């Protein structure tokens, strides 16, 4: 029986391995992690991450050919194929701080693999890593190998949170990169056979190692660029009276462009886009390509601009100050159908409003108070490190309350900011909300999900990203200082 071990039981390792176990009953899959609470949760009825369809897959395979364990060394020792799916945060200190990928977790996993292995293994990069990481990993493994042979493959993951199981069942493509040597090609074939249990052959793409590594960074950069492009247009729409939804639709009907990923919003978030672009920028700079680096940097700059533009709109509309005013925040996760808050635009918007001394009342159906407080007191990039390494400064969060109901959050508020597109925000009783708010009552829709005309009829002053502005807002242009 082929044995697979995956190091890292996170958003990628957990769902990916669960689906491999489901589709390949003849393969034994062990998912290991140094985090005891995470593994305990994977072995319980309350899985550590929320993904539609994940519970059913785990229930079917767990204990059959899918195992979650903290005994990292034992499972690596026994495995034929070792996936590494540990976190690869942005460096916070030293050379390349704020841009380069921090490969500490990866390197320690590689050293451990070399230490405990007594038989030849295929080591698969599942984490998103800088181009040429495989070369570094290869060196660590071969210099510590005691005669054991390791083959490195790059097999980046393209799943999206919120639709992970669907994406894994029917991937647009599976990408595997390997060395162009006979041994490299043999390893590549072995991994291909695993995916071939359920993925059609023509969707399994094989490349050299560096193309596979770079394709993942490139794909995320292209996706983020699309969002920044539409967000840049949204600013121009507001200035000219055009409507971003009409513009997006018109643009997206061109088959060369396509309709997906063209929604204007308060900005992109999630653990990957910003980190991967920063990483790409750093690689460009290191390779003497400053013009290319500048080009991609702009995608992040527009994303930051969009968030501060939003904060500016809120503050300038509300008589140029939100000091001591209650502002309701509806939605904190970086998108709907996930509880993930990594790099969520809500963090920057809330910090911006707190900077102007607002009192925030936050409601999100999937995010806990503890998580929100931690996010708002954390420094940039600290979130991707273990909790004990994350500093806290409770003073900033005194002006924040987290409630479990949208009506409670909006009671006596001066304004509402909608920051996540949860379906339930579309159907709230806005008449009731209006009656319980201070007047004039404002709604700032950062996701374009409410019916602005209906809300205006009720009496709200409404700001919808990229849509023609209310007369009230027109006189107060949101110019970012
Ligand atoms: P995560 O933070 O949820 O999971 C990583 C896990 O690795 C953590 O549970 C951590 O305890 C564990 N870990 C770290 N060092 C370890 C070690 N030496 N031994 C054992 N376990 C160790 O991260 P996530 O979101 O699963 O991402 C993993 C990688 O996949 C990252 O490189 C990310 O960029 C990439 N990726 C993430 C996607 C996403 O949607 N979250 C999508 C595609 C790729």
Give residue-wise pLDDT tens across range 366-390: 999 999 999 999 876 666 666 655 5
- pTM comes to 0.93
CA dist 74 and 410 (Å) reads 52
Helix axis angle for 209-240 and 244-252, nearest 10°, is 140
Contact present, 172 and 158 (Cβ < 8 Å): yes
Lowest mean pLDDT among 87-96, 169-178, 206-215, 283-292: 87-96
Across 114-134, average pLDDT: 93
Ligand 1: which of 218, 269, 271, 278 to mutate, judged by most atoms within 8 Å of the beta carbon? 271
pLDDT score at 156 = 97
pLDDT score at 121 = 96
Exposed (0-12), middle (13-18) or buried (19+): which is 471, by Cβ within 10 Å?
exposed
Q: What is the DSSP string of 286-306?
A: HTT-HHHHHHHHHHHHHHHHH
Lowest mean pLDDT among 97-101, 151-155, 270-274, 390-394: 390-394
Distances in whole angstroms, Cα of residue 118 to Cα of each of 74, 149, 190:
11, 10, 20
pLDDT at 242 over 90: yes
pLDDT score at 198 = 98
> Cis bond leading into 325, ω under 30°?
no
Which protein residues touch ligand 1 with a CB less than 6 Å away?
7-13, 33-35, 38, 72, 85-88, 105, 108-109, 127-128, 157, 159, 161, 271-272
Q: Which atom of ligand 1 is nearest to 128's Cα?
A: 32
pLDDT at 132 over 90: no
- Which residues are known to be catalytic? 272
Distance (angstroms) between ligand 1 centre and the Cα of 88 equals: 7
Across 453-477, average pLDDT: 89
- What are the strands of the beta sheet with 174-178, ordered from one edge? 66-69, 28-32, 3-7, 81-84, 121-125, 150-154, 174-178, 204-208
All residues at 6 or more sequence positions from 479 whose CB lies less than 8 Å from its CB, including other chains? 312
Contact present, 449 and 465 (Cβ < 8 Å): no
At 478, the pLDDT band (50, 70, 90 cuts) reads: low
């Amino acid at each position: 029986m082929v044995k697979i071990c995956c190091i890292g039981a996170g958003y990628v390792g957990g769902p990916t391995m669960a689906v491999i176990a489901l589709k390949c009953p003849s393969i034994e899959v062990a998912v290991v992690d140094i985090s005891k609470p995470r593994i305990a949760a994977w072995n319980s009825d309350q899985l550590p991450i929320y993904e539609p369809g994940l519970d059913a897959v785990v229930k079917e395979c767990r204990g059959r050919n899918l195992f979650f364990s903290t005994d990292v060394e034992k499972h690596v020792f026994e495995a034929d194929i070792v996936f590494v799916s540990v976190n690869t945060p942005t460096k916070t200190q030293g050379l390349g701080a704020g841009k380069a990928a921090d490969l500490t977790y990866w390197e320690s996993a590689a050293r451990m693999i070399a230490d405990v292995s007594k038989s030849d293994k295929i080591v698969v990069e599942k984490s998103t890593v800088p181009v040429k990481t495989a070369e570094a990993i290869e060196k660590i493994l071969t210099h510590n190998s005691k005669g054991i042979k390791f083959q490195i493959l790059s097999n980046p993951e393209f799943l999206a949170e919120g639709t992970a199981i669907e994406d894994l069942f029917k991937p647009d493509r599976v990408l595997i990169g390997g060395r162009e040597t006979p041994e490299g090609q043999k390893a590549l074939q072995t991994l291909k056979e695993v995916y071939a249990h359920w993925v059609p052959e023509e969707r399994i793409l094989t490349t050299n190692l560096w193309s596979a590594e770079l394709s993942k960074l490139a794909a995320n950069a292209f996706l983020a660029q699309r969002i920044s492009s539409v967000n840049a247009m949204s600013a121009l729409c507001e200035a000219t009276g055009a409507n971003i939804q009409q513009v997006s639709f018109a643009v997206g009907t061109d088959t060369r462009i396509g309709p997906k990923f063209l929604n204007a919003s308060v900005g992109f978030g999630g653990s990957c886009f910003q980190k991967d672009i920063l990483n790409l920028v750093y690689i460009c700079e290191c390779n003497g390509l400053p013009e290319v680096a500048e080009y991609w940097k702009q995608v992040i700059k527009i994303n930051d601009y969009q968030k501060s533009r939003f904060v500016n709109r809120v503050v300038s509309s509300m008589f140029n100050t939100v000091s001591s005013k209650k502002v309701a925040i509806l939605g904190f996760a970086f998108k709907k159908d996930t509880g993930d808050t990594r790099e969520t635009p809500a963090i920057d918007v809330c910090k911006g409003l707190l900077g102007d001394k607002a009192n925030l009342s936050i409601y999100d159906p999937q995010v806990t108070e503890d998580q929100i407080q931690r996010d708002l007191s954390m420094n940039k990039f600290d979130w991707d490190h273990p909790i004990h390494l994350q500093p806290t400064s409770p003073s900033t969060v005194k002006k924040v309350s987290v409630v479990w109901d949208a009506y409670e959050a909006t009671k006596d508020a001066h304004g509402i900011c909608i920051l996540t597109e949860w379906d339930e925000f579309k159907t709230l009783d806005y008449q009731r909300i209006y009656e319980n708010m201070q007047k004039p009552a404002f709604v700032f829709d950062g996701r374009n999900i409410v019916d602005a005309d209906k809300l205006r009829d009720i009496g709200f002053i409404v700001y919808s990203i990229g849509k023609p502005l209310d007369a009230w807002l027109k006189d107060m242009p949101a110019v970012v200082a």
